Structure 1
Amino acid sequence: MTYTAAAALGVVVAAVLDLFVFRVGLLKRVVFWATYPIVVFFQLLSNGILTGRNIVMYDPDAIIGWRLVYAPVEDLVFGFAMVLLTLDLWVWWGRRSN
């Protein structure tokens, strides 16, 4: 499985968990979308440093090749899934503890 396919699958899984399993619904909230650019800024900053200095390198056959601030776009997709799932679990566990 390529990094592109794994990142896309991660977004689908995170979205399904958000909307149908945990029923948190962050994807439906304006506050999520309004604050997500802050996460993207710092993700681009750190990815730009790591990939721009060749600390992290990607196999060209595993990515589609589009880059943003040196990092493959798949990193943004994967990061989105990771942040969404982390926030979903935070809210879901918080609801369960109450």
Structure 2
Amino acid sequence: MSYTTGAVLGIVVALALDLVVLRTRLATTLQWWAAYAIVFAFQLLTNGWLTGRLIVTYDPGAIIGNGTVPFLGDGRIAFAPVEDLGFGFALVLGTCALWVWWGRRLRPLSEDR
């Protein structure tokens, strides 16, 4: 499986988890997108620093682009492959959806005390 395929599957799974399985519907709220914008900015900073300095490299056959590391273009944003942004989105959405879902499940227990 390519890194691109994995990123797309990660996004689909995270959205399905949020919208269908757990029904937290975070991705439909303005609060989620405002919070994610902050995460996205810092992801670009850290990911860009690691990939721009070639501390982290990728197999050109597994990502979009030809393996060059421009700041923008050839499948990269701030040096980072766009797939990394997809994985980051999936990771953060999935984690937040689980956090909200568990919080809703545990709320009745805490109200009984």
Partner of 2:85: 76
Q: TM-score, normalised by structure 2?
A: 0.84
Partner of 1:30: 30
Runs of 4+ in 1 over 6 A off after TM superposition: none
SS of equivalent residue, structure 1 residue 58: coil
Q: Supply the distance in 2 between the matched residues of 1:88 and 1:41 (Cα, whole angstroms).
A: 20
Q: Supply the distance in 2 between the matched residues of 1:46 and 1:20 (Cα, whole angstroms).
A: 31
Structure 2: runs of 5 or more not aligned:
66-74, 108-113
Quick one: percent identity of the two aligned structures? 62
5 Å-filtered alignment, 1:1-98, equals: 1-65=1-65, 66-98=75-107
Deviations along 1:60-82, one digit per CA (max 9) or x if unpaired, are 00001200111100000110000
Deviations along 1:11-63, one digit per CA (max 9) or x if unpaired, are 00110110111000001111111221111100000001110111110000000
Q: Supply the distance in 1 between the matched residues of 2:78 and 2:30 (Cα, whole angstroms).
A: 26
Q: TM-score, normalised by structure 1?
A: 0.96
Q: What amino acid does structure 2 have at the position aligned with 1:11?
A: I
1:89 Cα deviation from its structure 2 partner: 0.7
Q: What amino acid does structure 2 have at the position aligned with 1:8?
A: V
Flag the structure with larger Rg: 2
Aligned residues: 98
